[in-house]
Amino acid sequence: MEFISNYPWYYTLLCLVAGFVFSAALYFRDKQNAERSKGLLYGLAALRFASVSLIALLLLDIFIKRLVNETEKPVIILAQDNSSSITAGKDSVQLKTEYVKALNSFINAVKDKYDVKAYQFDSEVKPSETFDFKGKETDISKLFIDLENNYANKNIGAIVLATDGIYNKGTNPLYSIHKFNAPIYTIALGDTIPLKDAWIQSINHNQVAYLGNSFPAEVVLNAIDLKDKAVTVSVIHDGKTLKSENITINSNSYSSTLNFLLDADKSGIQKYTITISTLDEDKNKQNNTQSFMIDVIDNREKVLILANAPHPDIAALEQSIASSQTYEVEVALVNEFTKPLKPYSLIIIHQVNTIPQRISNELNVNNQSVFFINSSSKAGFNNKTNEVEGVYDKTFSLFTLSDDLKNYIKNFPAVISPFKNHQAPNGANTLISQRIGVVDTDEPLMTFMESNGIKTCHFSGDGLWRWRMRDFADHNNHNLFNELISKTVQYLSVKADKSFFRVFTKKIINENESIDFTAEVYNQSYELVTEPDVTLILKDSKGKAYNYTFSKKQTMYSLSAGQFAAGEYSYEAKVKYGDKLYTKSGMVIIKEIISEKINTVANHQLLFQISKQSGGKLVYANQLEQLQKEILASDSIKSITYSHKQLTDLVNLKWIFFIILALLATEWFLRKYNGKV
């Protein structure tokens, strides 16, 4: 033990001198004390000397430096798979009763010697010594990642992993075990014997379809030990069978992909169910049915291309815009077009120098966005032209482009641009500037403007079709050109939402996810406010209501309603601001997760590999007592003693305070008792 101070050593002597002077002046300077017993005076002086000296020493910031030894018991981590596949086999009752009881006995026995940390895991990891086996997904790799984060540099004696080895989320857990310098003992649960089974492995489908269109659904069908059996695969919607296909299983390990083309004839979120007809030999009928949902949009955005004459640019634009399936493109010659413009979200005007007065008037009345391509909204161009290439303008900020496109713009071939020496007008956002020869200029090739809520884009070049062809020649696809056009069209066609109350949430979520909402409230000046309370009522299909109040953030509102069972839920949000009541309503569809029902055959080979590579051992559910004895007797699981230097401020030692208090109290009592006070 060593004393350290920020002051020179002789300050300690000064503290002792201060105690001596204080006590001497108090008890030996007063002549009346000469009548007192010298033993009493010396005793009182000693008490005062000690208390004053100690108090003075505390003012010197003295630290005690000492070597401290700490012993850390080994940590035994028990991780129990809490997913539903654990109890999907024929021994489910035994697992829920006898196994859980034996596991608790194991935990209690090992606790006496080691520090036991118990966890349950499925798609998430939680500390727990109780298990209900209701998890919807299994992610063993996440378990190892969480354990690594929580127990880095800790004395992990062993990890006990109790699972059936089935994982349907995350990566192969074998890739994560090298992070631990501890053996992993695996408790093998579940049944490795495949049952006779026919099941739907997966359904691949679009997330969005448009009313009146058709969309594909790809169904992967698997079967085990059902050779020569016949099944019917059906597609059901609103209780009606839309499509069906008869399948003869021609092998004991059968897999087939079926393709169905379905009609989107009803708008909104639609639920489709794929079923396999039931066989008596099928031992797991839970995985014979699987549903998927698709959002059917009742109309696509309409884009109108008005051209002065036929041109290769028009075909390039039409194919690029239509590739996203979000827009419906119509092409017409400007002088022959007689329809109203209002139904169109965006008007593209190609090489029209003089816009007909009727069209110009309608554009102004409707406040519609316009994409001018080598056209003019005012005066016509002269006949002088330049060959110009494009350069991405790094100051552009209206929307984002991929790095691949930003870097590739300079590789697009030159276009023919009218000769005009002008800068971009004030308020313009230039996406692509002109490069003439080897000189980068400030003249815009593609620029955006917004005035009074009307968005416009000007591309002052002829030859966009060459850009599409060059993209295909270099990449064997049109992805970069399509990105440029689709991002432009999307920005121009999106209408600003000017409502004073907005509510946002996902339309379709999984049953293991929370339903989260955000909301925004605006005042009449269209500024975000958070003064009023926003409430929400969530109702299930049976009419049961759940009431919530949003939490207020700095500029918005948020609400996490929690997890709900699979089904359809409606919501209505309300806010009263001033004398007006605003409401927003919608639907949320919660999808059932069936990952644990698809594959119920335990993978004990994976568990064997985990134990072997980590230096552990695989045991079965009825061998927990054997595992307990092995862990308790292991010579490699030891406590670790750490030695480290510890600095303690003398002021923080409570016993010194009590010593000073005792000294002063004793002195006061003796003075009181002897009539000195």
- pTM for the complete prediction? 0.61
CA distances from 58 to 651, 659, 664 (A): 6, 13, 16
Which pLDDT score, from 0 to 100, does residue 379 have?
Answer: 38
Residue 378: per-residue pLDDT? 46
Contact 541, 567 (CB under 8 A): yes
Domain boundaries, the chain: 2-68+647-673, 74-191+601-633, 197-297, 301-493, 501-591
DSSP states along 197-246: EEEEEEEEE-SEEETT-EEEEEEEEEEES-TT-EEEEEEEETTEEEEEEE
For residue range 282-333, what is the model confidence (pLDDT) as tens digits? 888 888 999 999 988 877 789 999 999 999 999 999 999 988 777 889 999 9
Between 324 and 170, name the one with better pLDDT: 170
Query: Is residue 278 predicted with pLDDT exceeding 80?
Result: yes
Q: Which of 15-24, 141-150, 231-240 has the lowest mean pLDDT?
A: 15-24
Per-residue pLDDT reduced to its tens digit, 113-136: 999 999 999 999 999 988 999 898
Single-letter code of the amino acid located at 413: P
CA pair distance 278, 300, nearest whole angstrom: 40
Tell me, which fold does domain 301-493 have in CATH? Rossmann fold (3.40.50)
pLDDT of 1: 64
Closest CA to 568 of 547, 543, 540: 540
- For the chain, the maximum distance between any two Cα atoms, rounded to a whole number of angstroms, is 131
- What's the chain's length in residues? 677
Shared fold status for 74-191+601-633 and 301-493? yes
CB-based contacts of 200, cutoff 8 Å, min separation 6: 219, 220, 221, 222, 274, 276, 287, 288, 289, 290, 598
Q: From CA 58, how far away is CA 448, in angstroms rounded? A: 73
Distances (CA, A) of 651 to 59, 409, 614, 654: 8, 70, 49, 8
Q: How far apart are CA 564 and CA 138, in angstroms?
A: 19
User: 501-591: what fold?
Assistant: Immunoglobulin-like (2.60.40)
The whole-chain average pLDDT of the chain stands at 88
- Report the relative pairing of strands 125-127 and 115-121 from DSSP bridges: antiparallel
Amino acid at 180: F
Q: Above 80 in pLDDT, residue 369?
A: yes
> What is the rounded CA–CA span in Å between residue 575 and residue 585?
12
Per residue in 473-504, pLDDT tens?
Answer: 999 999 999 999 999 998 898 877 778 999 99
**Rounded percentage of the chain residues whose pLDDT exceeds 90:** 53
- 436, β-bridge pairs: 439
| Overall fold of domain 197-297 | Immunoglobulin-like (2.60.40)
Banded model confidence at residue 446, pLDDT cuts 50, 70, 90:
very high
Nearest to 180 by CA among 196, 158, 199: 158
In whole angstroms, give the CA distance from residue 463 to residue 465.
5
Kindly report each contact of residues 96-102 with a partner whose C-beta sits within 8 Å and lies 24 or more positions away, as own/partner. Answer: 96/133, 99/189, 99/621, 100/131, 102/621, 102/622, 102/624, 102/625
**Which top CATH class is 74-191+601-633?**
alpha beta
pLDDT value at residue 424 = 65
